[in-house]
Amino acid sequence: MNRSNLALWLPLAIFAGLFALFVGRLLHPGDTVVASAFVGNPLPQFDLPAANVGRPGLSTAAFRTGRPKLLNVFASWCVPCAAEAPQLEALARAGVEVDGVAIHDQADDLARFLAANGNPYAAIGRDDARKVQLAIGSSGVPETYVIDGRGVIRYQHIGDIRPEDVPMLLDRVKAAGGGS
């Protein structure tokens, strides 16, 4: 191929390459969730008030009991949170303590949500301005964190917990228990 031929075909080749790239990314947009970069760090200091639904509030001290726990970031207005409720119940039945952080929520909405979907929570803290959610690098609801017995974040599960995620989360909790 001589030089003028190359000059003739190069733009078309570049166009074809870009076209393939754009079509590829349109068909497979890829992962857009923002994972927490804070996994491996101790939970930041917080003390959330109770949500007035018959459960105590939630503070960092509750995670330094020597036993691993799940921290579930949820809200009564969040539809996938209702979908994962049976899985949280299953985890609680398996002996894992589940503590909730309720985002932008109020007592009567929460009470209605818990009455409809079950209440697996040992404690629920109200996070009205997402202070705790931002402090642990959570970018939405629902998200579930595995916290070890010393209050260190071991794992972040983004999105609702599906039935097939339950054994994996139980393993993570068990591993976090062994590490403390």
Please check whether residue 159 is in contact with residue 139, taking contact to mean a CB–CB distance below 8 angstroms.
no
Task: Identify which of 42, 146, 153, 166 has the alpha carbon closest to the alpha carbon of residue 94.
Answer: 166
Start-end of H helices in 28-94: 79-93
85 three-class SS:
helix
8 binds another protein (CB under 8 A): no
Q: Per rule CB under 8 A, is residue 32 in the interface with another protein? A: yes
Distance of alpha carbon 142 from alpha carbon 28, whole angstroms: 24
Instruction: Tell me which of 8, 10, 14, 134 binds another protein, using CB under 8 A.
Output: 134
Binding span for another protein by CB under 8 A among 53-61, 90-98, 100-108, 163-171: 100-108
Binding residues with another protein: total (CB under 8 A)? 26
User: To the nearest whole angstrom, how small is the minimum distance from the Cβ of residue 164 to another protein?
Assistant: 26
Residues found in the chain: 180
The answer to the question of residue 115 lying near another protein (CB under 8 A) is no
Candidates 76, 87, 117, 119: give the one binding another protein (CB under 8 A): 76
Q: How far is the CB of 174 from another protein (least distance, A)?
A: 26
Query: How big is the chain by its Cα radius of gyration, in Å?
Result: 22
Q: Closest separation between CB of residue 2 and another protein, Å?
A: 25
Binding of another protein at residue 128 (CB under 8 A)? yes
For residue 175, CA distances in Å to 9, 19, 50, 58, 110 come to 58, 46, 30, 23, 32
Binding site for another protein (CB under 8 A): 32, 34-38, 41, 75-77, 79, 104-106, 109, 128-131, 133-137, 139-140
